[in-house]
Amino acid sequence: MAKILVADDSKTELAFLLDALNGTGHEIVTAVDGKEAETKIKAETFDLIILDVIMPNKNGFQVCRSLKKDPAYKDIPIILTTSKSGDSDKFWGKKQGADEYIVKPYEPVEILLAVKKYLGGV
């Protein structure tokens, strides 16, 4: 069983992600903005991080970049989820170190496949 942090400021999106991940056997921890996500990441150990891009206090790009530059966290896979669907947005997300970039709206299976890719089984 892996431990996954899910950060999104939308209660609806958080509920959608939790529903998609329900039944995978993984422990899910949530955060509602970038600062809370960083605080939790530094206090606990996570195997995977799912970040919304557009969040208050610190956006997903900023959190991703910060984590990927830090040797203590650089190897944790990060999945960015966002409504920003332009090629330049996807390029920028990958440049920040994101392992996956999933555009909203998405199907639950897209999240499950990405989680499986980095954690195995689901």
Span 77-105, pLDDT tens digits: 999 999 999 899 999 999 999 999 999 99
Rounded-to-integer distance, Cα 113 and Cα 119, Å: 10
Per-residue confidence band for 32, with pLDDT thresholds at 50, 70 and 90: very high
Select 3-119's CATH number: 3.80.10.10, 1.10.760.10, 3.40.50.2300, 3.40.190.10: 3.40.50.2300
pLDDT band with cut points at 50, 70 and 90 for residue 10: very high
Whether the pLDDT of residue 121 is over 80: the answer is no
Q: Does 2 score more than 90 pLDDT? A: yes
- Extract the runs of DSSP E, i.e. beta strands, from 1-122: 3-7, 27-31, 48-52, 78-82, 100-103
**Radius of gyration of the chain measured on its C-alpha atoms:** 13
Average pLDDT, rounded, for the chain: 95
Beta bridge partners of 100: 79
Residue 11 is predicted with a pLDDT of: 96
Adjacency order of strands within the sheet including 27-31: 27-31, 3-7, 48-52, 78-82, 100-103
